[in-house]
Amino acid sequence: MIVEKATQEDINELEALYNNLNDYLEANVNYSGWIKGVYPIRETAIKGIEGDNLFVLRIDNTIAGSIILNNEPEKAYDEVEWGVDADYKEIFVIHTLVVSPQYMQQGVGCELMTFAHEYALKQNMKSIRLDVSIHNMPAIALYEKLGYKYMGTVDLGLNYAHLKWFKLYELLL
């Protein structure tokens, strides 16, 4: 497994990954609540690449997963008391942790989260924060296993009944 920054050449493959994942979620249990054509979409990949903060995990030159690490919290993050009081320049926020259905249950999500932790340490961040749908039990279990602390539950204002409540987590570095 290799994790590296995504490039413009990865956009089509990322879009296909997002669509395949959303098809899989729709046909099975959609823990994340993502909706094909709404999120994640091609523009998600383009924005992440343009922001220089989208990373891909490759297995045999195929993108098996991706993650966005930036300093952009959702507005609702202001509603909880975090473990560290710092400017978001010193905090990474995880967005769009994606694992291809083809590579599920093979440690891809864990590897991306481990990469995020190591990368944040190298960048001298003070913490990593994220939000996760209250229904996404597999992701919640992963985050808690990796030491992320539950900080509160908030409404991100997404205007989808199934995506009203999100748990916020933080890992202090």
What pLDDT, on the 0 to 100 scale, is given for residue 163?
85
CA dist 124 and 19 (Å) reads: 34
Residues in Cβ contact with 62 at an 8 Å cutoff, skipping those fewer than 6 apart: 13, 100
Q: Which helix (H) or strand (E) holds 15?
A: helix 11-27
3-state helix, strand, coil in the chain (%, to 5): 40, 30, 30
Dist CA 147 CA 117 (whole Å): 11
**Domain-embedded: residue 36:** yes
Q: What is the pLDDT of residues 106-141, one digit of tens each?
A: 999 999 999 999 999 999 999 999 999 999 999 999
* CATH number of domain containing 34: 3.40.630.30
Domain that holds residue 111: 2-126
61-86 as b/e: b if 16+ CB within 10 A: eebbbbbbbbbebbebbeeeebeeee
Q: Kindly report, residue by residue over 56-111, the tens digit of the pLDDT.
A: 999 999 999 999 999 999 999 999 999 999 999 999 999 999 999 999 999 999 99
Look at residue 29 and tell me if it is in a domain.
yes
In a domain, 104, yes or no: yes
Say whether pLDDT at 35 is over 80: yes
Residue 27 lies in a domain: yes
Whether residue 89 is contained in a domain is answered as yes
Total structural domains within the chain: 1
Answer for the pair 146, 120: CB distance below 8 angstroms, yes or no: no
Is residue 98 included in any domain, yes or no? yes
